[in-house]
Every structure is written in structure tokens, then in C-alpha cells.
């Protein structure tokens, strides 16, 4: 059972602004907000920032089946240390992938056994499991993930236009969002084949094979189909302003679409990919400096709805080799989530909104998670804004000490994360006693 306590004197990000006040936690819930609150246990937090624990809507932990890549124990601890109290885990990298009720149950059991943060599970939308989407909805998936380009894994197939249309109809009926990895398959496959045929397999060749035009074309297609089917659409990892423009136009037409971006698109540019190498390979790829700077202004302006890490780990052996196309794509960044966002120059209110209420609203968790308000789960994130944190390989909590962020310094550090009132992570003492629970999506009873 969670201990009751008070967090005293922090600058608290509340739904209506930032205020210095006290927060009381009882029975795992936020029980009171106001000055002069007391309890037997008090966390003195003067000068600290208190946010609702981040909800990271986009992580890959790869368990069951590929725990040599990451796993729930290490992945969720890294997420907690990065400021998250809840994560939504993607359906493709586990084996079996999350394509039916049975695979959902397997993953749920693995997560309940070792996750330190609460978790939602994405189900897959692929050509082979349209008839299983309803059972996934009933089990409680938070939404469905579809790839418009190849996923890189043979057992999680790409959706062609007709599959996506059919899947969106079912998702709309269930009231669940569809997330799309939006890059145009025809364009990226052709460009990759041309580069490989010419034996151009370096960093710049890879970057050139996944242009902004491919991303924009796929976002446009997904928005069109979402409009047609009435499906809630969630575009993951938008990397460029042009992509956000397509989303904004679709919103104006009445399409129910939101855009996510990731800290790495706000932190690194394509020159960094050359410097860092394989650890900074992802898809869509990191863009040029002008695009990175533009993405930061757009996040500040409100063009981006949510932020997720797309923490995408793999073993060191898959991050090696001379052929940049063959190296596994994915940036491991769960542990740098919230510090990385402050490092990109975002203020606490923007960070709080895009990792809290906006995520909760999109996935039907408003009233329970994502804000500091009485009656909400006591998912809390205490940040020390005076303590710089530097990313070192030895400080990484992930299974493999790999991260594009190694050597980076952030202006803030994560002090504590509580999940429903129980410590999940403390900078002083490491892992706490929290155990994660399933957070169900809208279609579950």
C-alpha cells in the first residue's frame, strides 16, 4: 500500500498554471492541493518543480521474446528515471507481436511481472490481423499501430492503403486511435534500392533515402483515410514542419488527427548523425539544423500535440557495420525524456502539457492521469531545476549502455517519480517499490 505523504513547497504545474504550493497524497491519489498541508512524511521540495508524471505514449521494450534487446524491468526503470510514470508500449518488437488477445495477454503478464511504471499496450494493425482488432480492443489496447513503410521486422507487416482503410473503420467503431508510422514505402524503398545498387551505403546516403517528401506523402494519405473513416489518427514521430502543416490542414478540415514528435528531433540534426553514428539512426531520420530549430518553435507554438521518446533499443551487435542501411534504426532515449525536453529549451508548462493532459485526452485517461488535480492518480515527477545532469554510459539503466545522448548535458535532473503514490525512481536511492498496472484504452469494459 502506498504511504501517505505531502510534497511541500515545490513549484507545481497545475492545470491552470504554475504555483508554489503543497500536494497531499493519500491511498495512491492526489488528496489535496494547498498551502500548509501536513502528513507524517514530508518531502521538502522548495525550489523544485513538480509535474504530473510524464505519460510516454511511445516506447519499445521488446518483451516477451526479445528481452536480449531490452525488457520491461530495464526499460521501465529507464523510463521512470527519465520522468515517466506511465508508458504505452508498441506492438511490433515483442515476439509474438501484439496482434491478438493471446499475444496481448502474454505481454500483459510480462509487464505486470516487472514494470515499475503503469503501462498501456498498443495493438497491431496489419494485413493479417484485422479480424483480431476487436478482441484486442476488448482486452484494453490503448490504440492500434500501423506501418505505412516497412517495420524492419518480418512478423509485423506493413499496411497497404486498403488494409489501413479497413483497420481504421474497425478502430473508429471501437473508439480507439490508430497510430501511423508515416513514410511512403514506394519512395523510400526505391531510393534505398538506388543507393544500394550504387554501393552508396553511408550515413548521408541513408538520410537522403528517407526525405521529408516521403514523410509528408504518407501523413497526407493517413489523414485522408482518417477523414474518410472517421478514425482518430495519431501520427507518431513527426520530424519536420512540413509534416505538421499537413496535420494542421487536416485538423482544419475536421479530421480527428494529432501529432507526436520526439525529443531527438529537437536535440540532434543530421550532422550529429555523422558524428554519433549508428546510435543516432532512426526513421524518419534526423533532419537538418533549420528543421530542428523550426520543430522547437513549433512545439512552443502549439503545433505539436504530444511528445514521446520512441525509445527503440537493440543489442550492440545490431548497431555495428559499415552499411548504414543494414544497421538497426532506433534511438534509445527513455532515460533522457524530460531532461532532454528542457535541454531543447522547452519550459515547464509546455513539457507538462505535452506529456500530461494532452496525452491523457488523446487516449481517454482524463480524470485519472496526466494532471495534478484532486482525485487523480498520484503519478508525480519532481525535477531539480538547479542540478545539471550529464549523460554517461555508466549511468544508463537500459539493458545495453547505448544512447545517442551520451556526453550531452541537460539543465535539469529528475529527482523522484511516484506511480500512484509509490516511489518508482529516486535519484538518491534508485529503483523504488512501485509496480506497474495495465492502463486500458477506451474500448475495454
CB of 90 to Zn ion, least distance (A): 5
Q: How far apart are the first and last CA of the chain?
A: 26
Please calculate the CA angle 359-111-399 and round it to the nearest 5 degrees.
95
Q: Which is nearer to Zn ion, 283 or 295 (CB)?
A: 283
Quick check: helix, strand or coil at residue 164?
helix
Interaction residues for Zn ion, span 290-319 (CB under 5 A)? 310
**Contact in structure between 334 and 59 (CB atoms under 8 Å):** yes
CB of 312 to Zn ion, least distance (A): 5
Secondary structure letter of residue 331 according to DSSP: B
CB of 60 to Zn ion, least distance (A): 6
CB of 334 to Zn ion, least distance (A): 12
Q: Pull the grid cell for residue 298.
A: 513549433
Q: Which is nearer to Zn ion, 216 or 283 (CB)?
A: 283
Interaction residues for Zn ion, span 14-53 (CB under 5 A)? none
Q: Which is nearer to Zn ion, 178 or 352 (CB)?
A: 178
Quick check: helix, strand or coil at residue 174?
helix
Burial of 112 (0-12, 13-18, 19+ CB in 10 A): middle
161's CB contacts (< 8 A; 6+ apart) are: 221, 225
Q: Which is nearer to Zn ion, 70 or 310 (CB)?
A: 310
Beta strands across the sheet bearing 118-124: 54-59, 84-89, 118-124, 143-147, 178-181, 233-235, 257-261, 306-307
Distance, in Å, from the CA atom of 280 to the CA atom of 203, rounded to the nearest integer, reads 10
Place of cell 501511423: 180
Quick check: helix, strand or coil at residue 46?
coil
Q: Which is nearer to Zn ion, 354 or 412 (CB)?
A: 354
CB of 11 to Zn ion, least distance (A): 33
The residue at minimum Cβ distance from Zn ion is 310
290's CB contacts (< 8 A; 6+ apart) are: none
Q: Which is nearer to Zn ion, 205 or 310 (CB)?
A: 310
Place of cell 514530508: 42
CB of 145 to Zn ion, least distance (A): 8
CB of 331 to Zn ion, least distance (A): 10
CB of 48 to Zn ion, least distance (A): 31
Q: Which is nearer to Zn ion, 56 or 310 (CB)?
A: 310
The residue among 348, 349, 351, 356 whose CA lies nearest residue 373 is: 356
Q: Which is nearer to Zn ion, 159 or 371 (CB)?
A: 159
Encoded one letter per residue, x for contact with Zn ion by CB under 5 A and - for no contact, window 253-292 reads: ----------------------------------------
Which residues here bind Zn ion, judged by CB under 5 A? 310
Amino acid at each position: 500500500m502506498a504511504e501517505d505523504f505531502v510534497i511541500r513547497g515545490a513549484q507545481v504545474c497545475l492545470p491552470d498554471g504554475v504555483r508554489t504550493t503543497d500536494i497531499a497524497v493519500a491511498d495512491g491519489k492526489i488528496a489535496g492541493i494547498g498551502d500548509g498541508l501536513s502528513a507524517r512524511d514530508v518531502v521538502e521540495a522548495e525550489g523544485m518543480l513538480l509535474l504530473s508524471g510524464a505519460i510516454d505514449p511511445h516506447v519499445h521494450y521488446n518483451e516477451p521474446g526479445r528481452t536480449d534487446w531490452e525488457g520491461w524491468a530495464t526499460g521501465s526503470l529507464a523510463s521512470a528515471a527519465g520522468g515517466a510514470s506511465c508508458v504505452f508500449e508498441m506492438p511490433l518488437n515483442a515476439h509474438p507481436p501484439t496482434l491478438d488477445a493471446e499475444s496481448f495477454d502474454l505481454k500483459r503478464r510480462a509487464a505486470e511481472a516487472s514494470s515499475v511504471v503503469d503501462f498501456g499496450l498498443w495493438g497491431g494493425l496489419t494485413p493479417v490481423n484485422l479480424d483480431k482488432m476487436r478482441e484486442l480492443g476488448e482486452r484494453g489496447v490503448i490504440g492500434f499501430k500501423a506501418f505505412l513503410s516497412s517495420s524492419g521486422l518480418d512478423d509485423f507487416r506493413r499496411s497497404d492503403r486498403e488494409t489501413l482503410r479497413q483497420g481504421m473503420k474497425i478502430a473508429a467503431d471501437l473508439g480507439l486511435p490508430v497510430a501511423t508510422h508515416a513514410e511512403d514505402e514506394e519512395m523510400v524503398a526505391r531510393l534505398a534500392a538506388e543507393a544500394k545498387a550504387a554501393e552508396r551505403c553511408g550515413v548521408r546516403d541513408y538520410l537522403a533515402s528517407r526525405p521529408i517528401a516521403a514523410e509528408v506523402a504518407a501523413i497526407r494519405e493517413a489523414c485522408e483515410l482518417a477523414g474518410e473513416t472517421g478514425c482518430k489518427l495519431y501520427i507518431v514521430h513527426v520530424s519536420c514542419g512540413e509534416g505538421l502543416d499537413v496535420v494542421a490542414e487536416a485538423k482544419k478540415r475536421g479530421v480527428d488527427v494529432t501529432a507526436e514528435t520526439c525529443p531527438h528531433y529537437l536535440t540532434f540534426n543530421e550532422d550529429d548523425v555523422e558524428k554519433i553514428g549508428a546510435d543516432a539512426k532512426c526513421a524518419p531520420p534526423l533532419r537538418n539544423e533549420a528543421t530542428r530549430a523550426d520543430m522547437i518553435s513549433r512545439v512552443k507554438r502549439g503545433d505539436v500535440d504530444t511528445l514521446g521518446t520512441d525509445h527503440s533499443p537493440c543489442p550492440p551487435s545490431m548497431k555495428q557495420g559499415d552499411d548504414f542501411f543494414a544497421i538497426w534504426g532506433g534511438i534509445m532515449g527513455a532515460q533522457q525524456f524530460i531532461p532532454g525536453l528542457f535541454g531543447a529549451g522547452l519550459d515547464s508548462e509546455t513539457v507538462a502539457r505535452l506529456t500530461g493532459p494532452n496525452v491523457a485526452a488523446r487516449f481517454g485517461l482524463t480524470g485519472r492521469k496526466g494532471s495534478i488535480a484532486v482525485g487523480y492518480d498520484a503519478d508525480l515527477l519532481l525535477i531539480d531545476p538547479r542540478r545539471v545532469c550529464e549523460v554517461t554510459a555508466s549511468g544508463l539503466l537500459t539493458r545495453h549502455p547505448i544512447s545517442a545522448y551520451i556526453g550531452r548535458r541537460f539543465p535539469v535532473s529528475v529527482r523522484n517519480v511516484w506511480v500512484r503514490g509509490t516511489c518508482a525512481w529516486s535519484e538518491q536511492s534508485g529503483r523504488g517499490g512501485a509496480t506497474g498496472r495495465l492502463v486500458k484504452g477506451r474500448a475495454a469494459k
